[in-house]
Structure 1
Amino acid sequence: MVNPVRKDGTLDPALSIKNRFIDISPPKVVGLSNGVKAIEWKDGKVIMLDQSRLPLEVKYIECTDYHIIAEGIKKLWIRGAPAIGIAAAMGIALGAQDITAKNYREFIKGIETIFDVMLSTRPTAVNIKWAVERIKRLLKERRGESVNRLKELLIEEAKKIHEEDIEVNKAIGRWGSQFIKDGDTVLTHCNAGCLATGGYGTATAPIFVAIEQGKKIQVIADETRPV
């Protein structure tokens, strides 16, 4: 990388921020369309991207135990409020599959332990608490179901939380893109892309939609630090 600061301490005009914009075109966008995902439920397992290894290495972790997901949240393998909420929901659904219970009461007793583990990973994370409360409401509403059916419902709910987040992000993109005009330059900050969410991004969604609409824009990412 060329140092933009000259020996006399002044900034080389040729290498100033004005001349280091990133031109974003569809093939370069790390969005939903190219298959890069922070997390997904697949074949009864949770597949999680270890973001602590980015950008030098892309490694996915196959989670077959909810404790692995909890560890991932703690160690920031997965990050971003929406993404960790989805991870918590999937972790609960995954852990519930191993609960041995004859009835609703025994099942709830078993899943309370999983709730506690997820809540302890990031005590200040609002989305984890939100996911836990949503699942608790579901279980209360469907208390007449069999234990096996409750396990199925938890998987369905975790997938629904994931899908809903993507749709919300796309809605943000459609609304926000109207403020981005052809030829504009957009400044982004913080972790608000597809890897912080279900797969499309929040603050970055209007950028993706604007590009999909054929607008030629430039994007400045002013925060690219690791954890």
Structure 2
Amino acid sequence: MSQELRAVEWTGTGLALIDQTLLPQRTETLPVHDVDTLVDAIQRLVVRGAPAIGAAGGYGVALALLQGEREGWTEAEVRAAVARVREARPTAVNLMVCVDRVMTRFAEGLDAVLAEAAAIQREDVEANRAMGVHGAEWLLKKVGADRPLRILTHCNTGALATAGWGTALGVIRELHSRGSVEVVYADETRPLLQGSRLTAWELVQEGIPHYVQADGAAAGTILRGEIDAAIVGADRIAANGDTANKVGTVGVALACADAGIPFLVAAPTTTVDLATATGAGIHIELRAETEVLEWAGHRTAPTESRGHNPAFDVTPGRLITGLVTERGVLEISAGELPGDRLR
């Protein structure tokens, strides 16, 4: 990209969020100056991806302080507004971690809060760059191919999903910079099509060859031997390595395990939740039924049908070959667990 994307930007008086519900047809930013608008933006997926939500949440503390000053809120009302931001999406632990971190500076006032939020954003970009290098080097050694790799990814994990550069897509970008990507298979990511709308759009900006495929095609593509490795992101990683990510991820992991190819999870250490022992303790967000019962505002299922719409699933740690963070790669399926290395 000629200029690095920033999904979340502080303007001096509020936030500017790239409205990801409009991509790829339109590239527009949503101005955010109050807590209601931020919570709505997070829940509608105007801003999405665990690290990007975390960065937005950090700045949300500043929004609450500014709105409270304008509207004469008490401290208790400001704190209640911050709590609403913190709870806007329950599965992605980064949101909670980043809000809690910024709140440690709350008593120092707005400047301190903004400094901490900016530090979170800066550190996320640095972490993404580091995990891109770690992940690329590990994959090249693990696959051992003397040719560019064929990579499958699920959902969007690029600059749009982070403070910049990307997690899983950041690894792919690093591989591409080394001439080590033959093609990327981007799963479309039903029901909101983050793969076809967002990942494909970022791959186009980077000039990376790719196919968009239906989610249901992923396992067959893997088992036919057309993929060398899969790389995905994460919204929460339990202490035992169980990982919550966009729904459909666990099917990719099962196919990779059967095919004997690497399944790599890329996420910053802020996504690791050592307080959650296993994936059974991860709350899975259920989204509106209409997302699976309708298409573009038109009903596609019988009126009598109900919709089951989990936004995430949990991949057992035993199916994950490696977890790459800014600190390096843990080989989870070999018994090297996040809880052992990150305590």
Contact 2:34–2:67 (Cα < 8 Å) also in 1: no
Structure 1, residues 179-201: CA drift from partner, whole Å, max 9, x if none? 24652211111221221111111
Superposed, 1:1-227 pairs within 5 Å as 34-100=3-69, 108-139=75-106, 143=107, 145=108, 150-178=109-137, 179-180=139-140, 182-225=147-190, 227=192
Query: How high is the TM-score relative to the length of structure 2?
Result: 0.49
Contact 2:60–2:82 (Cα < 8 Å) also in 1: no
Q: Structure 1 residues 116, 213: closer, same or farther in 2, change over 3 A?
A: same
- Largest Rg, 1 or 2: 1
Could you tell me which amino acid in structure 2 is paired with residue 217 of structure 1? E
Contact 2:136–2:175 (Cα < 8 Å) also in 1: yes
User: What is the deviation of 1:129?
Assistant: 1.4
User: What is the deviation of 1:95?
Assistant: 2.1
Structure 1, residues 78-133: CA drift from partner, whole Å, max 9, x if none? 111111111111111122124349xxxx9743431222221332233312211222
Could you tell me which amino acid in structure 2 is paired with residue 125 of structure 1? A
Query: How high is the TM-score relative to the length of structure 1?
Result: 0.72
2:253 equivalent in structure 1: none
Unmatched tracts of structure 2, length 5 or more: 193-343
Distance in 2 (alpha carbons) for counterparts of 1:215 and 1:176: 13
Could you tell me which amino acid in structure 1 is paired with residue 176 of structure 2? I
1:19 equivalent in structure 2: none
Q: Structure 1 residues 226, 200: closer, same or farther in 2, change over 3 A?
A: farther
Contact 1:135–1:154 (Cα < 8 Å) also in 2: yes
Q: Which has the higher strand share?
A: 2
Contact 1:51–1:77 (Cα < 8 Å) also in 2: yes
Identity of aligned residues (%): 34
| Total equivalences in the alignment | 184
Relative contact order higher in (CA < 8 Å, ≥ 6 apart): 1
Distance in 2 (alpha carbons) for counterparts of 1:188 and 1:121: 26
